[in-house]
Structure 1
Amino acid sequence: MNNIFDNAPSPFIPNKLPIDISTIIDIDIIDLLSQASMEMGTYSGLLKNTINPMLLISPLLIQETISSSALEGTHATIEDFYNYEAGNKVDIEKDEMTEIGNYRKALYYAIDSISTVNDTSSNGKLPLTSRIIKEMHKILLSNVRGKNKSPGEFKKEQNYIGSKDTISFTPLPPELTDEYMYNLENYIHQDDKKILIQIAFIHAQFEMIHPFKDGNGRIGRLLIPLFLYYKEYLPYPTFYMSKYFEADRALYLQKLSNISKNNEWKEWIKYFLEGIISQSKINTKKAQYLIYLYNTFKEKVLKNINSKYSVQVLDFIFEQPIFKAKQLKNKLGIGTNTTIYNLLNNFMKLGILKKTNDERNATYICVEILENLD
Structure 2
Amino acid sequence: MFTEVTTSIPPMIAAEHYALSPATAALLEAATVEMATLDATHGALLGSFETFLLRTESVASSRIERVNVSMDDLAKAVAGVKAPKGALETHAATRALRSLVATTGDGGPITEGAVLTAHRLLMADDPTDGRYAGRWRDVQNWIGGSDHSPRGAVHVPPPPELVEVYMGDLLAFAGRDDMPALVLAALVHAQFESVHPFTDGNGRIGRALIHAVLRRRRVVRNGVVPIAAAMLADTEKYFSLVNTYRDGHAEPFITYLAHAALRAAEEAGASVRELQTMPARWRDAVGDRPGAATQTLLGNLVITPVFDAERAATMAGGVSPSTTYAAIERLTVAGVVHEVTTTRRDRVWAATDVMDEIESLNARLREHP
Question: Using the alignment, how far apart are the partners of 1:79 and 1:132 within structure 2?
Answer: 30
Normalising by structure 1, report the TM-score: 0.82
Counterpart of 2:34 in structure 1 is 39
Amino acid at match of 1:227: V
Secondary structure of the residue aligned to 1:248 is: helix
Structure 2's unaligned 5+ residue stretches are 361-369
Equivalent of residue 70 in structure 1, options 59, 63, 67? 63
Give deviations 1:64-118, integer Å, cap 9, x for gaps: 211111122212132331245468887xxx332221121122233335544422x
Deviation at 1:133, TM superposition (A): 0.5
- 1:21 paired residue among 14, 18, 22: 18
8 Å Cα contact 1:353/1:366 also seen in 2:
yes
Over the aligned positions, Cα root-mean-square deviation in angstroms equals 3.2
Q: Does 1:152 align with 2:111?
A: no
Deviation at 1:12, TM superposition (A): 2.9
Work out the CA distance in 1 between the residues paired with 2:341 and 2:187.
51
1:244 aligns with 2:230: yes
- Specify the code of the residue in structure 2 equivalent to 1:145: P
334-343 vs 199-208, greater mean Cα deviation: 334-343
Contact 2:138/2:161 (CA < 8 Å) preserved in 1? yes
Determine helix, strand or coil for the equivalent of 1:319: coil
Encode CA deviations 1:295-325: one digit per residue, 9 max, x unaligned: 655798898544267435532454335x554
* Partner in structure 2 of residue 186 of structure 1: 172
Compared CA separation, residues 355 and 155, structure 1 to 2 (3 A): closer
- Residue in structure 2 matched with residue 133 of structure 1 by the alignment: 115
Structure 1, 294-303 or 278-287: larger mean CA deviation = 294-303
Number of aligned residue pairs: give it: 354
Distance, in Å, in 1 between the alignment partners of 2:38 and 2:55 is: 18
Distance in 2 of aligned mates of 1:69 and 1:359: 27
Matches of 2:158 and 2:340, distance apart in 1: 51
Contact 1:55 1:315 in 2 (8 A): no
Q: Which residue of 2 aligns with 1:55?
A: 48
CA distance in 2, matches of 1:72, 1:62: 15
Alpha-carbon distance change, 312 to 128 in structure 1, aligned in 2, over 3 angstroms: farther
Task: State the match for 2:73 in structure 1.
Answer: 80
Conservation of the 8 A alpha-carbon contact between 1:98 and 1:144: no
Q: How does 1:169-248 map to 2 (within 5 A)?
A: 169-248=155-234
What is the DSSP-based 3-state SS (H/G/I as helix, E as strand, rest coil) of the residue aligned with 1:168? strand
The alpha-carbon distance between structure 1 residues 134 and 325, as it changes in their structure 2 partners (threshold 3 A), is same
Is the 8 Å Cα contact of residues 192 and 198 (structure 1) preserved in structure 2? no
Residue identity over aligned pairs, in percent, reads 21
Separation in structure 2 between the aligned mates of residue 270 and residue 197 of structure 1, nearest angstrom: 9
Asked whether the 8 Å contact 2:341–2:349 carries over to 1, the reply is no
Residues of 2 paired with 1:161 and 1:304: CA distance?
Answer: 59
Q: What is residue 166 of structure 1 aligned with on the other side?
A: 152
Amino acid at match of 1:224: I
The separation in 1 between residues aligned to 2:250 and 2:262, in whole angstroms, is 18
Residue 28 of structure 2 aligns with an amino acid whose one-letter code is L
The 3 A distance-change label for structure 1 pair 21 and 367 is same
Q: 1:348 offset after TM fit, Å?
A: 4.4
8 Å contact kept, 1:95–1:144: no
For structure 1, which runs of at least 5 residues remain unmatched after alignment? Answer: 118-125
CA shift in 2, pair 1:8/1:311, >3 Å: farther
